[in-house]
Amino acid sequence: MNKYNWKRIVVKVGSALIAPNQQGCSSHYLLSIAQFIVRCRAAGVQVVLVSSGSVAAGKHLFPDTDKVDITTKKAMAAAGQTEMMATWDKLFDFPSAQVLLTHADLRHRDRYVSVKDTIFSLLDNGILPIINENDTITTDKLKVGDNDNLSAMVAAAADADALIICSDVDGLYDKNPHTNDDATLLSWVNEIDDEIYAMAGGATSDVGTGGMKTKIQAAEKATSHGINTFIINGFTELSFNMLLEGKNPGTHFQPYDEPMQEAVHWMTHTSKAQGAVIVNNDFDAALNEETEQLTPESIVSVEGDFAVGDTILVRKDDGTKLAKAKSNYSSCLLNFLAEQDDEKFASAFQDKTGPIISDKNIAVLEDS
């Protein structure tokens, strides 16, 4: 197992593996995944399991599924979550723990650190963390939306060496293998660019919420943290046997040679901007961890409603994204300063109260 020299891994399992027929949970495809986890742990590798499936597992308990509104879907998640946890629990002879998250738990720094601490405490005590998005209470504003991206955020929080994303195909192909017989599997991806994203189509499963695109997004998040990422076929035992032998059964996304610093990675890929500060198109001040030159006179407008400590996006009036950073001012106060005709007043105010954005852990963006 340790031919890869892994100390800690995250395994992501989708709804199609949990409840393939949407008639409750099935252990048919989960047995080989559970055995893989057991053998990893026996080899001294810590494992975190990110498991979708609560909605799919609970769907059969609701007779009228032709018109499923959001409230019913949340109820399905509530009912299915217990069945899903019970299914996993019976496949292991060691304790497991349920961890339900919303994006709010990850995008707020203090709560993110608390999640990290909980995961490490469970692992240190030999308990398998089983993580899922809390579909019962989440809203559009709070949800991650898919467990592929959630698994990457969890992998970063857990300082994992590898992220293994189980799919219904062998990995990333240059075209959809379900509709193209000449599709070619990419065994290695050294860099995730527009060409790689163009190869990702929609969801190929009728059960899951994610497709290949969300898996590529997850791989981008994880590899930028220095995490080896694999997309494999979770429906075949061969995939897991090959991983145990130190072989690549699917697509292996290579990690960055120089991973982002942890706090900058969190700001870039996990923290969600609650608003935006729009600056002049000729704004050319350096925004980085050492230098901060954003001043009230540079601000054209303020978008959104945010408080002190929230993450905001700094972008030019032409749409060019410059950075994500923690705001030291509320949107209300920034609006007030931006509207002042007296630049000396605004500058004097800033001199007394400090910088507009935090001069620590600024995530500089290259997207325009």
pLDDT of residue 351: 65
Please state the pTM of the whole predicted model: 0.84
| Sites in the chain below the pLDDT cut of 50 | 202-210, 291, 368
pLDDT of residue 124: 97
Residue whose C-alpha is closest to residue 230's, from 193, 186, 292: 186
pLDDT, tens digit, for every residue of 219-238?
A: 999 999 999 999 999 999 99
pLDDT of residue 348: 65
DSSP annotation string for 148-207: HHHHHHHHHHTT-SEEEEEESSSS-BSS-TTT-TT--B--EES---HHHHHT--S---SS
Structure tokens at 278: 């729009």
Q: Answer yes or no: CATH 2.40.170.20 is held by domain 2-265.
A: no
pLDDT of residue 368: 40
pLDDT of residue 227: 97
* Architecture of the domain whose range is 273-364: Roll (2.30)
* Other CB atoms within 10 A of residue 207 CB: 20
pLDDT of residue 178: 78
pLDDT of residue 340: 73
pLDDT of residue 353: 65
Residue-range domain boundaries for the chain: 2-265, 273-364
* Other CB atoms within 10 A of residue 180 CB: 11
pLDDT of residue 304: 93
First to last CA, the chain: 43
* Other CB atoms within 10 A of residue 74 CB: 19
